[in-house]
Amino acid sequence: MKYNFYAGPAILPREVIEEASQAVLNFSNMGLSILEISHRSKEFVSVMEEAYDLVQQLLNIGNDHTVLFLGGGASTQFSMVPLNLLHAGRKAAYVDTGTWSSKAIRDGRTYGDIDIIASSKDKNYAYIPKGYPIDSSYQYLHITSNNTIYGTQYKAFPETNVPLVCDMSSDIFSRPIDINKFDLIYAGAQKNMGPAGATLVIVRKSALTKSSDLLGATLDYNNHIKGKSMYNTPPVFPVFVSMLNLRWLKKNGGVEAIQAINTQKSNLLYGELDRNGLFYSHVAHEDRSDMNVSFHLHNPELTDAFLEMCKSAGILGVAGHRSVGGFRASIYNAMPLEGVRVLTEVMQAFEASHG
């Protein structure tokens, strides 16, 4: 048995992979592969419509917001957000909590005036800033809900008197959210929704009143809304697999049910980290991510030995990001509780042999 702890592209439920593999050979009894059908065919239009409906049901999205499936990854949204939302002569506020928020800030500054109003860079992004003032003159506030590299996560979203924009790439569908708090949410698929290649965007319709003069047609959210995510050719296969994965999530009780399981998994792993004398977590306790558990050995010379023990137990992908080192266990929705149990058992065995 193999347990996939990679941060992304990430684990998918086995039944989703099996159903997707059948569609690669023969989709919807068409005698054609999902990889070669027209995105304008009634069969794929039906896929897109079901994917829309599942997102709306699982996140309780009302008529004020619209859903899009786009290409380009979440990184393209670093540019699309300011191009569509940041008006000339106005400023946007960003909170810097790690690599991806830093990249969003860098790209955003290409198109407008951006202030970093809070940052956790002073402690190597080991916490989520709180209690900072937010001036009402800002066009929007941008945050990153979960930080895959550093292992931090917003447990409560900031109360703000300006529109809130959030990159939820690595924890969307892992817990219930109040969609009405947000003017725009974007998320790359390859953590909790599906394979790499599709990007989910949820935007409040009233937020799209004016856009930049720099805005090209394919970067304009309005064009994608009018085209029902088919202004240009959508990422057909990633959307299809995302739809299958959202079906799986709904069948298993939705985001409320998966949150309970995710909490079990993270509690089990953090509990072992806090108990085991060989390991430690550098993340502020109240900001520990339920999706990406970043941790270290007190003696880093034992790193290779621990990774080898993990590999022998079927545990893959726990080496930490190169910018942080140590280890990272990504425990997205499709990671079974059993996988986390096996990891904690390996940690206990490693303590017994090296403690």
For residue 273, the domain's CATH number is 3.90.1150.10
Q: Residue 253 in contact with residue 175, Cβ under 8 Å?
A: no
* Residues 262 and 241 placed together within one structural domain of the fold: no
Of the residues 251, 272, 297, the one at which a domain ends:
251
Q: How far apart are CA 169 and CA 160, in angstroms?
A: 21
Q: Kindly state whether residues 308 and 288 are assigned to the same domain.
A: yes
What share of the chain has pLDDT > 90, as a percent? 95
- Mean pLDDT within 282-295: 97
Closest CA to 324 of 95, 4, 99, 74: 99
pLDDT (tens digit, 9 = 90+) per residue, 341-354?
Answer: 999 999 999 999 99
- Which residues are within 8 A (CB) of 89 and not within 5 positions of it... i.e. 6 or more apart? none
- Residue 301, token pair as written in the block: 């010379």
Percent of the chain with pLDDT over 70: 99
Task: Answer whether residue 196 shows pLDDT above 80.
Answer: yes
Together in a domain, 129 and 275:
no
Residue 5 lies in a domain: no
Residues 239, 301: one domain?
no
Q: Is residue 149 in a domain? A: yes
Residues recognised as catalytic: 100, 167, 191
Domain end marker among 216, 251, 286 = 251
Same domain flag for 334 and 310: yes
- Per DSSP, the residues of 147-188 read ETTTTEE-SSPPP-SS-EEEE-TTTTTSS---GGG-SEEEEE
Classify residue 219: in a domain, yes or no: yes
Same domain, 54 and 187: yes
Q: What is the pLDDT of residue 88?
A: 81
* Residue 211, pLDDT score: 63
Could you give the CA distance from residue 64 to residue 179 in angstroms, rounded to a whole number?
10
Q: Is the same domain home to 46 and 148?
A: yes
Say if residue 139 is in the same domain as residue 197: yes
In degrees and rounded to multiples of 5, residue 316 shows phi and psi of: -120, 145
| Tally of structural domains, the chain | 2
Question: Model pTM greater than 0.85?
Answer: yes
Q: What is the pLDDT of residue 215?
A: 84
Asked if 178 and 315 sit in the same domain, the reply is no
Residue 109 and residue 195: Cα distance in Å, rounded?
29
Identify whether residues 90 and 218 lie together within a single domain. Answer: yes
Q: Per residue in 80-115, pLDDT tens?
A: 999 999 988 899 999 999 999 999 999 999 999 999
Q: Which domain holds residue 144?
A: 14-251
Q: Could you tell me if residue 102 is inside a domain?
A: yes
| pLDDT band for position 251 (cuts 50, 70, 90) | very high
**Could you tell me how many residues make up the chain?**
355
Contact 187, 193 (CB under 8 A): yes
